Structure 1
Amino acid sequence: MFSRFVFGLGLLSATALVNHPAFAVDAPTLQIFVSKDKQSLVVYDGTEVIATSKVSTGKAGHTTPNGIFSVLEKKKYHESNLYSAAPMPWMQRLTWSGIALHESNSVPRYPASHGCVRMPPAFAKQLYRITDLSVPVIISDAEVAPEPIAHPNLFRPDLPEPPLLLSDAELRPAIGENRGEPVQLAMNSAAPSPVAQVAAPENTDPIRILITRRTERETVIDIQTYLNQLGFSTGTPDGLVGTATIQAINTFKALRPAQFKGDKALVSETLLREVYAAAGKGEPPNGIIMVRQDFMPVFEAPLTIDNPRQALGTHFFALHAVDAKNGKADWLGVTLKNDLSRQAMKRLGIVANESSIVTGTPIANALDRITIPDEIRRRIGGMLAAGSTLTISDTGIGPETGAGTDFITITR
């Protein structure tokens, strides 16, 4: 109680609003929202505002990126590697490329930094004391706030059902590194082998979930996996188009000249459909779900996105409370503005933005369009803990997501 009281007193000099100084803080469920329009930072526990502060974000030429981040590293004192060893006390890192929350004696409440989010000294120090690594930080132009979201497609607690079906392919790392250990990659295989027996998870830390569109990496892994099963050797499925994969693809195409007439690309939708058909796998998936925990990849699996030519948008969900006994989960959600460029829309095969949907809300429309395999839904249900998060995005993981990060989604 004394520490909470001290925290409340420390915030009073730096914030425009603070709840009663004896507020309860449940660190795993905290969320931090930064508004660049208002030059403000708001700390939430669920929908309750814990505290707010003025900030200074990046000035012209050094704009603070918008998006979904989390605290990757904390240091009481840090010096900038980019800007003449400038001091950054009470630093909470958001990207390994140099964006962070930190104390500054210059917080004029207009964009003034080199990209970081500056905070007043008293607030920066006290915020540092209540945050854990991986606390979500959402940065946007306009102010947004988490709201309760109820939808049948959101995950609920459940014990995973043994067996969990995995592919014949050798287990391989998902995005990022896993200290040399293999990461499970679930595939929609009709006759999977081996069968993995899955017990209740020992690690009860919150998980990070990303649902996005499949990239060429996942497409190539599927093609390699199923060509191997069909007798066209590609080597170990790794998503890389090497000599063995090229030879296997060309041999497969040569046996089906009619299907590939006029198809000049080595890897194409036609190739994916034909390989799936030959392997008896039905329609290829167009989405992927990835799971991380403690900044490390855990597993990934295919899923289906309905009406793929329509953008999903960018949506962020946080699990505030979970009742495993009764199978209940209290999710909070926000939608972030993310105007896709023409180049991005062409690359992703999108012809209409999510804002063109006139019925319902963007966040519900996105959830309605996602179909997740039951075995994957059960596995995630067995891993849920308060503070777990889910991101839905058209644009994939992006270059900021890597070793030692949660899923980082840049919206601008």
Structure 2
Amino acid sequence: MVRLTASRLLPVALGAALLASCATTPPKVVQAPAPVTEAQLPYEWTHGHAPKATKDARALFGTVALKAGDYRWAPTIPDAPARVVIDRLQQLMFVYKGDQLVGLTTISSGKKGRETPLGYWKVFRKQVKGFSRKYDNAPMPYMQMYDEKGIAFHGGKLPGYPASHGCVRIPVEFAKKLYGLTTTGTEVVIEG
């Protein structure tokens, strides 16, 4: 004969209660997620810098459809601060001087798992002949760093899709023009 002591009785009672509750609890109904609305698309949090830049580019250059490595540049306005708007979704960079769009280029942002971070930044370091400390001293011509972790925009290869380790690659000639236009403190907005 087995004697049930208090120490043996408690686990048995808890197990029985758990089984009883499982038997009487109806199964959860899982609903399919609702379709994504336009308001939930990537620009939801961004205050619309990239969509506005796209409209400005169409007005100034007639298109935003560029082949990988292509860019457009317009005469610049003197005495106005520069601002850079990067759209990861469209893989484009827009350059402003004051409120006037002056440049548009294709980019290659960070690949999956090393995505270029979204947000508001400022250029804090510039170097004509920059090199990556993290990635085998890889060249970063006309480098403009805006993130303390070493992320920058610079001249580089543009395959037509996100392929970098987090930096934003732009055509070297565009990077050279941009380098002459910006200063430390230039605002950088990354959306998409």
Matched, 1:129 2:184: no
Do the aligned partners of 2:110 and 2:167 also contact (CA within 8 Å) in 1? yes
Name the counterpart of 2:162: 111
Name the counterpart of 1:349: none
Structure 1 counterpart of 2:113, one-letter code = G
What do residues 33-58 of structure 1 show as CA deviations (whole Å, max 9, x unaligned)? 00001111001123311111111000
Structure 1 counterpart of 2:73, one-letter code = V
What do residues 357-400 of structure 1 show as CA deviations (whole Å, max 9, x unaligned)? xxxxxxxxxxxxxxxxxxxxxxxxxxxxxxxxxxxxxxxxxxxx
Structure 1 counterpart of 2:182, one-letter code = T
Give the CA deviation at 1:93. Answer: 0.4
In structure 2, distance between residues paired with 1:16 and 1:83 = 27
Higher relative CO (Cα under 8 Å, sequence separation at least 6) belongs to: 2
Matched, 1:99 2:151: yes
Do the aligned partners of 2:71 and 2:174 also contact (CA within 8 Å) in 1? no
Name the counterpart of 1:26: 79
Structure 1 counterpart of 2:170, one-letter code = M
Aligned-pair identity in percent equals 38
TM alignment of 1:95-244, pairs within 5 A: 95-104=147-156, 106-141=157-192
The normalised TM-score by structure 2 is 0.61
Going from structure 1 to structure 2, the CA distance change for 1:33 and 1:116 (only over 3 Å counts) comes to same
Give the CA deviation at 1:96. Answer: 1.7
Name the counterpart of 1:373: none
Name the counterpart of 2:121: 69
In structure 1, distance between residues paired with 2:115 and 2:155 = 18
What do residues 141-179 of structure 1 show as CA deviations (whole Å, max 9, x unaligned)? 0xxxxxxxxxxxxxxxxxxxxxxxxxxxxxxxxxxxxxx
In structure 2, distance between residues paired with 1:68 and 1:122 = 25
**Aligned CA-pair RMSD:** 1.4
Do the aligned partners of 1:30 and 1:135 also contact (CA within 8 Å) in 2? yes
Give the secondary structure class of the aligned counterpart of 1:60.
coil
Name the counterpart of 2:88: 36
In structure 2, distance between residues paired with 1:64 and 1:110 = 13
In structure 1, distance between residues paired with 2:97 and 2:180 = 15
Gaps of 5+ in 2: 1-68
2:130 to 59, 78, 83: 78
Going from structure 1 to structure 2, the CA distance change for 1:16 and 1:102 (only over 3 Å counts) comes to closer
The normalised TM-score by structure 1 is 0.29
In structure 2, distance between residues paired with 1:107 and 1:38 = 13
Give the CA deviation at 1:17. Answer: 3.2
Do the aligned partners of 2:130 and 2:140 also contact (CA within 8 Å) in 1? yes
Give the CA deviation at 1:32. Answer: 0.4
Give the secondary structure class of the aligned counterpart of 1:90.
strand
What do residues 40-94 of structure 1 show as CA deviations (whole Å, max 9, x unaligned)? 1001123311111111000011100000001010011121111111111111001
Greater Rg over alpha carbons, structure: 2
Gaps of 5+ in 1: 1-13, 142-412
In structure 2, distance between residues paired with 1:93 and 1:31 = 14
The aligned length equals 124
Give the CA deviation at 1:15. Answer: 4.8
